[in-house]
């Protein structure tokens, strides 16, 4: 499997290390022989048709801050257009204004018949219906399990466990940073600004936490889940979004407040009062998703949000899934 890896930061490097560590398992158990023939960052691309070792690329990146040698003119689009590739793995920085450069990388790959795996929420939040259509038009697979629930596989659960059942709606806590902050404000009496400083000190919140606090990160994940699990062709502009604020809704002693993303009655992200001890009352950085299934009672899946390592692991899962999908296609009659 000839792979181009676009983006060589936290997730990209963790993926390269992991795919290297797991190469025997991937070959013996799944018949996959991954070969990274190109790796790109902002500075350009390292290309080797024989495959790039983790040691070579990681050494170059840590020593010089760039994967390519100085003066390299190769850019991600040149790699997509010029190399023979089976798969493009996209892990570049999220840009919620335009979705670029990821959006163009994905569209161009699909047009050229290259399968795509991305961990970048931005292009999906802005244009998921169009991306799904483009993948289908070109007969390529498009996988993105690292964009939501990388640490707790909500998408796989919906896909695999609920096969043949009718999913009516979803709602949940999709952002660990704000969940941690709300828990600290309500349970320990911290001011919102103190909870944020603490979360930043502990590495739970980023230096710029805007997208977490204003509910945009949760809304982007809701868009992806609604398109994938409910077949609702929505984008972020269809979601009513309000984030966490200093003045919380009124709640009694046996209640608490959570930032909830919900597909019904209208798609929205907002602070809601929930009963203490209920399945939605997950603490710390935990996420939870409630599946309302026609044939069953409500089902809850809960676990931690993802970091770089978990997100890299989700790319490996998507590679295995890709192989299975391609095998199924070739056996179709």
Ligand X SMILES: NC(=O)c1ccc[n+]([C@@H]2O[C@H](COP(=O)([O-])OP(=O)(O)OC[C@H]3O[C@@H](n4cnc5c(N)ncnc54)[C@H](OP(=O)(O)O)[C@@H]3O)[C@@H](O)[C@H]2O)c1
Q: Which residues bind ligand X (CB under 6 A)?
A: 6-12, 40-43, 76, 91-94, 101, 119-121, 146, 150, 306-308, 311
> Smallest distance, Å, CB 302 to ligand X?
18
Residue with nearest beta carbon to ligand X: 9
> Smallest distance, Å, CB 14 to ligand X?
8
> Smallest distance, Å, CB 328 to ligand X?
27
> Smallest distance, Å, CB 266 to ligand X?
26
Q: Give me the catalytic one of 221, 258, 275, 323.
A: 221
> Smallest distance, Å, CB 314 to ligand X?
8
Answer yes or no: 275 catalytic: no
SS3 172: strand
Residue closer to ligand X, measured from CB, 6 or 204: 6
156 CB burial (10 A radius; 0-12, 13-18, 19+): middle
Residue closer to ligand X, measured from CB, 200 or 278: 200
Residue closer to ligand X, measured from CB, 120 or 263: 120
Residue closer to ligand X, measured from CB, 14 or 185: 14
| CA nearest neighbour of 268 among 289, 239, 242, 290 | 239
213, 178 contact by CB (below 8 A): yes
Residue closer to ligand X, measured from CB, 167 or 224: 224
Q: Which one-letter DSSP state was computed for residue 147?
A: G
Which parts of the chain are beta strand (E)?
2-6, 35-41, 44-47, 87-90, 115-118, 142-143, 167-173, 240-241, 255-262, 268-275, 286-293, 299-304
Residues with a catalytic annotation lie at 221
């Amino acid at each position: 499997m000839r792979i181009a890896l676009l983006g060589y930061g936290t997730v990209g490097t963790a993926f390269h290390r992991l795919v290297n560590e797991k190469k025997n398992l991937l070959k013996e158990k799944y018949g996959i022989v991954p070969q990274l023939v190109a790796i790109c960052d902002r500075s350009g691309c390292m290309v080797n048709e024989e495959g790039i070792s983790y040691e070579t690329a990681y050494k170059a990146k840590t020593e010089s801050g760039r994967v390519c040698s100085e003066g390299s003119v190769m850019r991600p689009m040149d790699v997509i257009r010029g190399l023979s590739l089976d798969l493009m793995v996209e892990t570049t920085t999220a840009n919620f204004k335009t979705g670029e450069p990821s959006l163009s990388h994905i569209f161009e790959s699909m047009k050229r018949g290259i399968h795509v795996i991305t961990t970048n929420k931005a292009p999906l939040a802005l244009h998921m219906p169009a991306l799904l259509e483009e993948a289908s038009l070109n007969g390529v697979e498009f996988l993105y399990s690292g964009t939501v629930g990388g640490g707790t596989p909500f998408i796989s659960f919906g896909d695999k466990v609920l096969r043949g059942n009718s999913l009516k709606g979803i709602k949940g806590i999709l952002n660990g940073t704000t969940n941690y902050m709300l828990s600290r404000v309500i349970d320990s009496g911290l001011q919102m600004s103190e909870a944020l400083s603490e979360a930043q000190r502990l590495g739970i919140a980023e230096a710029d936490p805007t997208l977490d606090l204003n509910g945009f990160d949760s809304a982007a994940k809701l868009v992806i889940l609604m398109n994938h699990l409910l077949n609702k062709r929505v984008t972020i502009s269809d979601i009513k979004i309000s984030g966490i604020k200093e003045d919380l809704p009124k709640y009694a002693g046996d209640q608490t407040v959570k930032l909830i993303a919900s597909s019904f009655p209208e798609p929205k992200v907002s602070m809601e009062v929930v009963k203490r001890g209920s399945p939605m009352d997950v603490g710390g950085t935990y996420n939870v998703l409630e599946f309302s299934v026609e044939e069953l009672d409500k089902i809850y899946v809960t676990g931690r949000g993802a970091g770089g390592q978990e997100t890299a692991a989700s790319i490996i899962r998507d590679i295995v899934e890709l192989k299975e999908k391609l095998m199924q296609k070739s056996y179709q009659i």
